[in-house]
Structure 1
Amino acid sequence: MKIRSLFTNSGGILLSRIFGFVRDLMMASILGANVYSDIFFVAFKLPNLFRRIFGEGAFAQSFLPSFIASRYKTIFAARILLTFLGIIVVLALLVDLFAVPVTRLIAPGFDPAATLLAAKYVAIQFWYLPLIFVVTFFGALLQWKEHFATTAFATVLLNIAIIGGLLLSRGMEKERILLVLSYSVLVGGALQVLVHLIMARRFRLLRMLGIGFAALGTHSRKVAEDTRRFYKNFFPAIWGNSTAQVMAFLDTWLASFLVSGSISYLYYANRIFQLPLALFAIALSTALFPSVAKRIRHKDESGALREMKRGFWILLFLLSLATLGGMIFSTEIIWLLFERGAFSRADTLATASVLQMYLLGLLPFGLGKLFSLWLYSRHEQMKAAKIATWSLAGYAAAAFALFQPLGATGLALASTFSGFVSFSLLMWTFGMNKLRDFWERKYVIILFASLLTAGVLMWGIHLLAIRYLGV
């Protein structure tokens, strides 16, 4: 793993999340936490779900090993692009035609009026999906060229587009604001496609695809085996990578039965939770995957384990600090970012409570991202899919047990429970003997001392904030 790649990914994610928090700050101030914000987040749920599934490694972890192994890379890439893009466009057309039933599936607790209003924005925003697939496809090819910067920093364009929409729609009626924001999502997707096409041209990837398209009609059978291998791994990989996103989707489904604002509490808290997860776990996993995959392919398991061990301790340290800080400063974080305008003190306290429950699962979810790479590098996507299924089953059982008595907080706690289920199974599959080799006493001492020192400092700052800021 190149440290430069880690910092590139982290830098891009950090910049995007900074703009994302500005976006959410403005959203909270303009829309608040009510039925209109719930409608926007419901409409944004499907494209955001697919963005995370495709964009945060699931597609690349299936596509890249098959692409690297293919003898006819140009034809294989062209075939995958055309097939997927065609299916996604047809799916978008179906959602456009049947927006109301789709909205009922996403948020069955909405009343008929809210469902009808939300369906309009669901249909518009779903067209973000074909755009983000093109971005993901070219992002995977750029990873093959060991270029990470474009994909890492292009994510900020979506947030910039939505911020622009919020500025343009300030002072308008709530429904008009929702319409402007929905089209802003599509503008953000188009901008991401544009910068990826520019960079793909610079790396001569467009020329490569052009050759593939030209040969596809007469030579498609040459990549038939490569394509079968890709699809065999792709669907388990998508399922194995998307557990957290599916749970967030189900959060919305169940929260639609709770009091107004519950969907927004989950959304804002999950946005905070996703920052350290993306900044550390996803960025490191993205940078580490090509290196581990290549070592596994060349039968260098000891070298792959060294890379994994290095990543393990980096993640354990960073995620532990993030969990500690987030738990202590949960109220202060929500207060600082969102408590203004239509976002009240009660909204802050409710969102902070949800955030704390999410943060309890930061370590298992983050470290799970790392250890799942071992399975994908060894083409064991089906094992990852089975683990994801057990994790989702654990979430469903906990969510249905907790969402009525605990509300949105119970749904966040159910998500954390599923993270521990997934992490435990990943550890068992990875092998406890290998994991024991990761453990070094000096690292344990450093970690414990760092957390103790940081905890004391953070608690002192927390008490000062209570005393002088009244948070």
Structure 2
Amino acid sequence: MLKKIFTNSFGILISRILGFIRDLLTASILGANIYSDIFFVAFKFPNLFRRIFAEGAFIQSFLPSYIASKHKNRFAAAVFIRFFTIIFIFSILVTLFSPLFTKLIAFGFDEELINMASLYVAINFYYLDFIFIVTFLAALLQYKEHFATTAFSTALLNLSLISALIIFQKSEKENIVFAMSIAVLIGGALQVLIHLYISKKLNILKRLILSLKGLNKKKESVKEDLKKFYKNFVPAIFGNSTAQISAFLDTWLASFLVSGSISYLYYANRILQLPLALFAIATATALFPTVSKKLKDKKDKEAKEILKKSFWLLVFLLSLSTVGAIVLSDEIIWLLFERGSFTGEDTKNTAFVLAMYMIGLLPYGLNKLFSLWLYANHKQIIAAKIATYSLICNIVLSVILIFYLQAAGLALSTSIAGFVLLFLTIKEFGFKEFLSFLERKKILFLLFLIFLELFILHTFKNFLFLNQ
């Protein structure tokens, strides 16, 4: 199990390092202004649907249904045809009505900015079509206990964007945004190609194509499987989307604030996503197929033991990451982004947002672990209700805190909503079961490490960043 987690983590680490290089170049070349805001709005739109619709809700619903199905290949083929058709039609609608969709995500933009951004929103949205194919094939690879391809393939998107930034760095900023949008599609296409290659190598692609060809004659055989899948999929959209909808809400509200606010949120959230993806998402992804299979085989005790070991691994890693990022928030932003068009004032504002986001790292990370138990048990409807309560909390707090803390208030409300999400998820998992996970010696050791980390950071902080 540790090997699977390490494979995921290492692949994500490589991708995130390239992602930070991409963000470093973006901050240096575009800065934190209206042009960077426009690109982040355009790129956030497909990413919102990707994380909610394709990666999140789809895998969490598809994989347990696929494991339970007696006609796996036919079931997979039927799901692929239906979903890809819907996503492609949706992409066409976004192209035809791009100003309307742009207005939805950046309501505070005036008409001129809406017209500027709508072209890039239309281009970037087709990334979702590519990523659905990637996600679908990734689910089949996960069933085969193969994680490396998906973990490492996201680096291709970052490499594509880095190339665009380097090639067009001396161009007009509007041309740079256009080049980056095209690079997003190229990155998506490259991800599809590598997944097709590995799927062919593992004999997944051949079986899928044969099932697609003969689907019309045998579609009745998977009718019940599809009903169960659709029943779980719709609530799974809500159950797995709290963080993504929160990010969408942050962008929408930030469009009413001073220029650069959307960029502050983006850069800070990117740093939050590193430990979240590196530790929590990598662990949950590696565990999900195994836990689902054990629950299907009625081996609940073994599944909970796997969960317990992973729980403590995440608690230690996420807690130490949270403390370190909050204490060094200014230094992190300065080191990564303060150059070129990214000013010292931008560093100060982004660092404050980062500190507020990092408060929510532990609850969101642990929720990834406990929510997989709900999805593996086909409790998508319950997960949806939990996410709805958390989202309502986030909306109310965002509207209040934005007046006091501006962009940082949006980040803080997201973090508080994460604690609500985790509390309700653990309540459904069972407080008694959760308390059995807790061990006094490990708690005391964790506190010791946190105090030691604080001492080290405060002792060497000025020394390490003396030349800032």
2:56 and 2:241 in contact (8 A); partners too: no
Per the alignment, residue 319 of structure 1 pairs with: 318
1:330 and 1:352 in contact (8 A); partners too: yes
**How much has 1:56 moved relative to structure 2?**
4.8
SS of the residue aligned with 1:438? coil
1:102-121 correspondence to structure 2 within 5 Å: 102-121=101-120
Amino acid at match of 2:232: N
Per the alignment, residue 351 of structure 1 pairs with: 350
Per the alignment, residue 2 of structure 2 pairs with: 3
Per the alignment, residue 405 of structure 2 pairs with: 406
Task: Confirm or deny that 1:80 pairs with 2:75.
Answer: no
**How much has 1:211 moved relative to structure 2?**
1.8
Q: Greater CA deviation, 175-184 or 230-239?
A: 230-239
Amino acid at match of 1:7: F
When the two structures are superposed, what TM-score results if normalisation uses the length of structure 2?
Answer: 0.98
Task: Confirm or deny that 1:40 pairs with 2:39.
Answer: yes
Distance in 2 between the 1:462 and 1:239 partners? 41
Distance in 1 between the 2:121 and 2:408 partners? 26
Q: Aligned Cα RMSD in Å?
A: 1.0
Per the alignment, residue 394 of structure 1 pairs with: 393
Q: Greater CA deviation, 453-462 or 117-126?
A: 453-462
Per the alignment, residue 292 of structure 2 pairs with: 293
When the two structures are superposed, what TM-score results if normalisation uses the length of structure 1?
Answer: 0.98
Deviations, residues 175-203 of structure 1 (Å, cap 9, x unaligned): 11111110000000000000000000001
Deviations, residues 368-420 of structure 1 (Å, cap 9, x unaligned): 11110111111111110000000000000000111122110110011011101
Distance in 2 between the 1:367 and 1:394 partners? 19
SS of the residue aligned with 2:378? coil
Per the alignment, residue 372 of structure 2 pairs with: 373
Per the alignment, residue 18 of structure 2 pairs with: 19
**How much has 1:6 moved relative to structure 2?**
0.1
Per the alignment, residue 134 of structure 2 pairs with: 135
Q: Greater CA deviation, 455-464 or 354-363?
A: 455-464
**How much has 1:469 moved relative to structure 2?**
2.1
Distance in 2 between the 1:295 and 1:71 partners? 17
Deviations, residues 106-129 of structure 1 (Å, cap 9, x unaligned): 101111111100001000110111
Per the alignment, residue 467 of structure 2 pairs with: 469
Deviations, residues 293-340 of structure 1 (Å, cap 9, x unaligned): 111111111111101110110000000000010011100000000000
2:330 and 2:348 in contact (8 A); partners too: yes
Return 5+ residue gaps in structure 2 as ranges.
Answer: none
Per the alignment, residue 266 of structure 1 pairs with: 265
Return 5+ residue gaps in structure 1 as ranges.
Answer: none
Distance in 1 between the 2:396 and 2:380 partners? 24
1:199-214 correspondence to structure 2 within 5 Å: 199-214=198-213
Per the alignment, residue 426 of structure 1 pairs with: 425
Deviations, residues 278-305 of structure 1 (Å, cap 9, x unaligned): 0000000011111211111111111111
Per the alignment, residue 231 of structure 2 pairs with: 232
How many residue pairs end up in the alignment?
A: 468
Amino acid at match of 2:362: L
Amino acid at match of 1:469: N
Distance in 1 between the 2:444 and 2:409 partners? 34
1:375 and 1:384 in contact (8 A); partners too: yes
Task: Confirm or deny that 1:100 pairs with 2:106.
Answer: no
**How much has 1:213 moved relative to structure 2?**
1.1
SS of the residue aligned with 2:298? coil
Per the alignment, residue 164 of structure 2 pairs with: 165
Identity %: 55
Per the alignment, residue 447 of structure 1 pairs with: 446
Distance in 2 between the 1:54 and 1:291 partners? 23
Per the alignment, residue 329 of structure 1 pairs with: 328
Distance in 1 between the 2:213 and 2:383 partners? 36
Deviations, residues 223-277 of structure 1 (Å, cap 9, x unaligned): 0000010111112122111110111011110000000000000000000001000
1:57 and 1:286 in contact (8 A); partners too: no
SS of the residue aligned with 1:156? helix
